[in-house]
Amino acid sequence: MEKRNEGRVILFPLPLQGCINPMLQLAKIFFTKGFSITIIHTRFNAPKSSDHSLFTFLQIPDGLSETETQSRDVLLQLTLLNNNCENPFRECLAKLIKPSSGSGTEERIISCLIDDSGWVFTQSVAESFNLPRFVLCAYKFSFFLGHLLVPQLRCEGFLPVLESEAEELVPVFPPLRKKDLSRIMGTNAQSEPLDAYLHKILEATKPASGIIVLSCEELDQESLAESHKVFTFPIFPIGPFHIHDVPASSSSLFEPDQSCVPWLDKKETSSVIYVSLGSIASLSESDFLEIACGLGNTNQSFLWVVRPGSVRGRDWIESLPSGFMESLESKGKIVRWAPQLDVLAHRATGGFLTHNGWNSTLESICEGVPMICLPFVWDQMLNARCISEVWRIGIHLEGRIEKREIERAVTRLMVESEGDEIRGRIKVLRDEVRRSVKHGGSSSRSLDELVDRILSC
């Protein structure tokens, strides 16, 4: 632990699981560098403050109704949150910067504000308090640069994609193929609000003091080299955050089933395929059953996370055929949520069927676990392409949720020689990425530069 200094860092995560995780990991990194930490958060998806006793948590109202919190329309939620939270955030920040006498608030110099790139009002608020603002990019940086081009791509007529062009690469957004674009750019009904939101992100990011990236040079070298074409300030790739030397703690919005690890303890090394499609994706009942049958038809043990409500129209797994679980005996285990870092680090885990969110992708790389890619939306499409075509550390299902495809992909990864080759490549990449956060590594150097910049602001 480094010596405490007089600086306080204010962090403001977007209230989505994939955004809360890296922000709280970043908070722990800054705490070890001597900063005091205050987390401002919304009522919606509030982080569990009891898991982080060394930080100060301040909740602001977000104005979301119960119906809006249950919506599957993430863009709608983000739009409403940005509309509703500006005044409460400004008031909360004002109290921190100019505490009233007798308020009991510990007076420390506020060094900077760090918030997620998805907050589009925070730059103007920070400027009104003369407070440096750093933007957290919780994506692979190449996606962050590329997704700002979505309005331009739409204007250039990339949609609709002709079937004959579906497999072609998108020149300005590598390694995406044209068929991936429709799943990133959304429907015609979504085009106007999405393009407007992305424009606001760009305009709110350009005046910031810097971007903190949940990646490292080893995973994003080309896009980091290109960043000067868009931004004039420094970029700080200091990821992966979770493998920095910081105290472990949970930031999950769901309660993990701790029986996963004892179950894995009974399995042979690299014999289990872990299946988890993240905190947002949902499946039709027919797709859910195809995955179930595909997993059941393999000779591999599997640990499958099925989030309650993630099968549309069902509470949990009640649509499984009668006797399905009994027929598996001890081969398969289904849980509502898993302690993912522990699962991926377990010697028994030999593969990961994933939605390819960036957090999950980084966690899998850092443990050397090869992937089967089943992306659904947004940056998952690009992450899956990098995994299957750039780094070649996984197999892409290409959206084919069919029992024979699932069974075949699991067999290729877990049994055949192709899987051995993939496993060898991901172990090399794992070692490179893990070295980046060690003393003298690329992420470690970048973190030192970031701390120096914050202290000099």
pLDDT digits (tens, 9 = 90+) for 420-455: 999 999 999 999 999 999 999 999 999 999 999 999
Burial class (CB in 10 A: 0-12, 13-18, 19+), 192: exposed
* C-beta of residue 25 within 8 angstroms of C-beta of residue 261: no
> Is the domain defined by 260-434 classed in CATH 3.30.70.20?
no
Label the pairing between strands 7-12 and 371-373: unpaired
Model pLDDT, residue 250: 66
Model pLDDT, residue 29: 95
* C-beta of residue 86 within 8 angstroms of C-beta of residue 108: no
Model pLDDT, residue 325: 83
Report the length, in residues, of the chain. 457
Model pLDDT, residue 164: 86
Model pLDDT, residue 272: 97
Orientation of helix 217-226 relative to helix 442-456, angle to 10°: 50
Provide the token pair at 107: 């007076």
E strand or H helix at 85, and its extent?
helix 74-97
| Architecture of the domain defined by 7-138+206-245+438-456 | 3-Layer(aba) Sandwich (3.40)
Beta-strand ranges (E) seen in 186-307 are 210-213, 235-237, 272-276, 301-305
pTM over 0.85: yes
Reported as a single tens digit per residue, the pLDDT across 14-30 is 999 889 999 999 999 99
- Quickly tell me which residue has 């799943």 as its tokens: 183
Helices (H) and strands (E) in the chain, counts: 18, 13
Cis peptide before 247 (omega within 30 of 0): no
Q: How far is CA 86 from CA 57, 77, 276, in A?
A: 18, 14, 34
Model pLDDT, residue 108: 62
390 half-sphere exposure, CB direction, 13 A CA radius: 18
Model pLDDT, residue 281: 86
Q: Which amino acid is at 418?
A: E
* CB within 8 Å of 156: residues ≥ 6 apart: none
Model pLDDT, residue 100: 56
Q: How far is CA 180 from CA 6, 176, 187, 391, 455, in A?
A: 48, 6, 13, 18, 42
pLDDT tens, residue order, the chain (457 aa):
455 566 899 999 999 988 999 999 999 999 999 999 999 999 999 998 888 888 999 999 999 999 999 888 899 999 999 999 999 999 999 999 876 544 444 556 899 999 999 999 999 999 999 999 999 999 999 999 999 988 888 888 777 788 888 898 988 898 999 899 888 887 666 788 899 999 999 999 999 999 999 999 999 999 999 898 889 999 999 999 999 988 766 677 788 999 999 999 999 999 999 999 998 888 999 999 999 999 999 989 999 999 998 999 898 989 898 888 888 878 999 999 999 999 999 999 999 999 999 999 999 999 999 999 999 999 999 999 999 999 999 999 999 999 999 999 999 999 999 999 999 999 999 999 999 999 999 999 999 999 999 998 7
* C-beta of residue 90 within 8 angstroms of C-beta of residue 125: yes
Provide the token pair at 266: 């009974």
SS3 assignment, position 347: coil
- Other beta carbons within 10 angstroms of residue 375's beta carbon come to 28
Cis peptide before 47 (omega within 30 of 0): no
CATH 3.40.50.2000 range(s) for the chain read 7-138+206-245+438-456, 260-434
Reported as a single tens digit per residue, the pLDDT across 177-190 is 989 988 888 766 67
Q: Of the candidates 80, 37, 76, which has an alpha carbon nearest to the alpha carbon of residue 61?
A: 80
